[in-house]
Structure 1
Amino acid sequence: MLKRKWKNTNFATVGEIMPRALKHLTKSPEYKLYLIKFYWESIVGKEIAEHAIPKNFAFGVLYIGTSSSVWANNLLYMKFDIIDKINNALKYKLIKDIHFTYGKKGSNKIIPTRIKDKRDIKRILANTELLPQEISAIESSCGKLEDKDLAASMKKILIINEKINKVKKKNKWHNCKNCNTLCPEDEIYCDICKRKLKNGRYAQIRKILLTKPWARYGEIKEYIEGCSAEMVNAARTDLVQRMTANLQITSYDDIQLQTLVMLYRALPPEQINRKTVKENINRLKYDLIYNEMKKLMKKEEEN
């Protein structure tokens, strides 16, 4: 049996180890993010905390996920106040900047400022004054709330939102063509209306492809204004995946298989025969497997 040649007599006590361990722990971004989350509601208030959550922290930048683009835009103009409140609560200047995001779990889109003078948004809003009747209307709408804290938070948000609208109008923002929402000078529709129009175009494209599976982008764009090749390809792929979900191959002469091949390869009926169907169905199998593998690899990279 081998014997240890030396003995470690420099035993450290728990009292000596703990301060060093805690000092190391407090330097980690995870610990700093935990502190921010712990004090979050007391820093920003209950109403904002319900719609905005700290998601990540790195190199002095805090990433906050919000429940919608409206909240993200409104909080963008409170950024400097939130930075000051966080740093004051933690007793040192931890946060240098904040990025607001929204979408699923508040993590997929970063909100752009979209104001030409981006240097000091806080100063811009401070110099923007509301008319007495505008403040009175805001107070009237908040006065209906029984919860005083909620009413105070909502008043602050509505005042900031009204100031934001004034700043946007000064920067030549205009009403959306479909609704009264303000949008930038170089855009016709607001984000919500653009999404609705896009979904409407997708529905039209799918309808054409279901009645004429071999239709290509050159034909479809003649019927749908604002249609793009990417939209046609996306709609085609979606329909192919739906048709293959419950597909059972019993015969290559089956009308369902023929329709699927016409859709998949954009082939007209006169080019469809038993050989073409068999070749393209086998090719489709490999394409579907490849697409699923790409999705899995993407998920692994994100995790």
Structure 2
Amino acid sequence: MVNPINKVLEKTLQNLNLTHKIKEKKVLNIWSEVIGDKLKKHTKASYINQGILFITVNNSTWAHQLLFLKEDLISRLNKKLDQKIVEDIRFKLGSINSTDLTEDKGSKDSFNLSKIELTTEEMTEIKTKLNSVPDEKLSRKLYSILAKDKKMNKWKEKEGWVRCDYCSTLHPKETENCMICQLKSEKNFNEIEEVLIENPWLTYEEISNFFPSLAHSDYNRIRKELIIDFWQDIKEKIPQAINNKNNDRSTQEIKILIQNYVMLKRSIRPDKLNRNIIKEVIGKNYIQVYNRL
């Protein structure tokens, strides 16, 4: 009975042109999932109209940097909806909630580029870069853009912003890295973790062929966390496997888990794996259990 009702409901929604509107409404709810926990406090999906999603951002610098990720964000939103609902994203400045209002006003007063002055050396440096531009009008426009960018960086340094570990871009000290690298890292780290779970023997050199921007320190961190997770899983599942000796599937799973743990810890390929290496890694007590599995 449920299926016919669902079909009637779906057809009714389509006839009334409500299916699209419902998915538009869903965009507002999934925005925080797509942007990530670290960044959702700086943004809010306000409304969507004719495929254009309007995002309120509580800081003009974040809004500026979000522009570089716009295409990626559109793609990720539409992928979650299984339909091309979002055509474009527009970012506008505003407070996220009432508690942000006072903070927003304060940052607005301090974020005044007219109060930031460039030194003679800095102005000369910009003009030197534009020496090869023949058109005077274009040169003036480019000078204005470069000067504003220089002032922006001086303002950031004055406010105590620090350099991103990955790309050296200035970012607020309360965030781990710049927003763009945070999003890229969060997205890639999940993929890297999945690759290592499936292929635990891969070294940094091997996995960096698939993820060229992966830092060695991040590879080591992901690998270390997986090693801890694997070992915890082994300790929890071994008693279950011993108590269920007749369950061949359970026994096989724990053996594979131990083998993957050893390959991950030693970066050793399956064809090089043997019982002596497994014993070295898991110890005498656990190898006895492994032998009985």
The question of a shared fold, defined as TM-score above 0.5 by the shorter chain, is answered with no
Tell me the TM-score normalised to structure 2 length: 0.36
Higher gyration radius (CA): 1
Higher relative contact order (CA 8 A, sep 6+): 2
Tell me the TM-score normalised to structure 1 length: 0.35
